[in-house]
A and B are shown apart, each in its own frame.
Chain A
């Protein structure tokens, strides 16, 4: 990439991808913005036109709004904590030379291959069901009252399902990072008198910092948009206890057929995502520079 010709060739070859991405991202965003200022309800198609910020006012003042923002942040944070901590522990475990390592690794990765609605339904019916789920049976076997997970702790249950789905991703990234750690560095620390905890704390964790950053950033992008797991398990309930911002937008768009309010919600979600992104990049983004 040094001559004039190779630079312009690079620009030329990049341009289709850039153009497509631009159209792909900009057009929906602009349309969403446009709809968010329109009166546009599928049930009353004859009443349309510019209505200013009325859609925003309606969305923001809806009783579920602040709870939905809180739930969204709790969901993202909860899943991130579980997947990063759990991912590090599992990665440490399957990095050990053990019998059947290949099979264990495939088993660890397998949740990632299961489609989200399938995974959520399996959790809902096979594990969480308070009358014949496995957790209920286990509770009964040790003489305890079965716990109604989705009824009593809906958000925590959804966090558990989503964390289960994303754990393999975190584990995989962290495992490869762990394997790139020079074993001589660990041996040097051992010679220097560092015990297992100190080797983990002072050598492994700093080495994993960049991988953890990657996991957190990528997962946040996807976790802000979690919908299906909520849709097939709790439908945002009981009440609004497990309603997230995404689910609220879905409610407005599909259940109330109010495209205008849903678009306003979408814009709010984009703003929230950007605020989260700025905070994240401030907090951990410098780990990405070598």
Chain B
């Protein structure tokens, strides 16, 4: 079981309110991602759930029981830290066994659980090494191993992949998603990387300045962002935002159109512009189109091999059904 409810949870450091009163419900077995720019309070929120910070006001309940005042160890949650926070003087085996040892579990039961966790995480041949002798990805797996042996109600991940290189990050992303499928345990995952959020989450919580901007499945957020912040944050490359007379034509203060929903043609289209830098990724090409009179620059996605060069004049046509309209307060119309 791992059902977590936050009601009216608030955090202040002195005078500064980091998290204004906030309500959130996390269902058992869900993979929830907190995503937002740095400093948005997502890590603080995770630490409040973990019990590493005290709430200023409000209640946290885990599986229906009030956990607001409980110390971290009593909440039945396990956390994986950004720096992995392994114990450098202990072997991998002792690192993974540490929470069991602290719980006073019998030695043979400890060994059995450590072996099982090591098998799941492909760490069996590294059990007698120390963290210093492992690669970044292996250390990450040890940190996860230390979390899973406790069989917690929920896992908390605090930007666990940000210290890994790009290739490893993709691999670990898959491994964590796979682990979630296998264990079916609630996971709360904090990241600033919207790609991680989109690919892993059952439910994304977009945070900005401590406030929840929107909660929903990755595709809900992609299709119907509730406001300009979410529209700009979810999706890569970013959604193009256009205001002014062109937006007024659509009866809105600002309109947004994603790069993948704009067509490019050398002679025909709604908007005329000059191609600046183009980024060729092989499968796709992203054009940065200037001098459209609409915005500083529009990003457009086209197919992999389009014969358009820097300085060419092109015509762009947005897919009218995919245009997002926002009012002057930035809310979706």
Residues on A lying within 8 angstroms of B by beta carbon are 182, 184-185, 187-194, 198, 202-203, 206-207, 209, 290
Contact = CB atoms under 8 A, between A and B. Distances in A.
* Prevailing SS type, chain A contact patch: helix
B81 A192 contact: no
Contacts of B132: 290
A185 B79 CA distance: 11
Top 5 closest pairs, chain A to chain B, by CB: A188-B85, A192-B99, A193-B73, A193-B102, A206-B89
Given A191-B73, A191-B78, A192-B73, A182 B102 contact: no
B85 A185 contact: yes
B72 A190 contact: yes
Contact of B83 (A184, A198, A207): A184
A188 B102 CA distance: 12
A192 B98 CA distance: 7
A158 to B, nearest CB: 36
A214 B73 CA distance: 34
Interface in B66-108: 71-73, 77-79, 81-83, 85-87, 89, 98-99, 102-103
B307 to A, nearest CB: 49
B83 A203 contact: no
A224 to B, nearest CB: 30
Interface string B127-157: 0000010000000000000100010000000
A272 to B, nearest CB: 33
B87 A185 contact: yes
Interface string B169-198: 000000000000000000000000000000
Contacts of A191: 50, 52, 72-73, 77-79, 99
A108 to B, nearest CB: 28
Contacts of A188: 79, 81, 85-86, 146
Nearest to A207: B89
A190 B51 CA distance: 10
A110 B132 CA distance: 38
Contacts of B77: 191
A184 B146 contact: no
Contacts of B72: 187, 190-191
Nearest to B103: A193
B83 A182 contact: yes
Nearest to A186: B85
A209 B87 CA distance: 14
17 contacts: A182-B85, A184-B82, A185-B83, A185-B87, A187-B81, A188-B86, A189-B87, A190-B71, A191-B72, A192-B98, A192-B99, A193-B102, A194-B98, A194-B102, A202-B98, A206-B89, A290-B132
Contacts of A193: 73, 99, 102-103
Interface in B97-130: 98-99, 102-103
Contacts of B73: 190-194
Contact of B85 (A187, A194, A198): A187
A190 B85 contact: no
Nearest to B102: A193
B87 to A, nearest CB: 7
Nearest to A185: B85
A190 B77 CA distance: 11
Nearest to A209: B89
A182 B82 CA distance: 12
Given A185-B87, A202-B87, A192 B82 contact: no
Given A190-B73, A191-B77, A191-B79, 13 more contacts: A187-B52, A188-B85, A189-B98, A190-B71, A191-B78, A192-B73, A192-B102, A192-B150, A193-B73, A193-B103, A194-B73, A202-B87, A290-B132
A188 B131 CA distance: 15
Instruction: Name, among B81, B85, B146, the residue most crowded by chain A CB atoms within 10 Å (CB to CB).
Output: B85
Contacts of B98: 189, 192, 194, 202
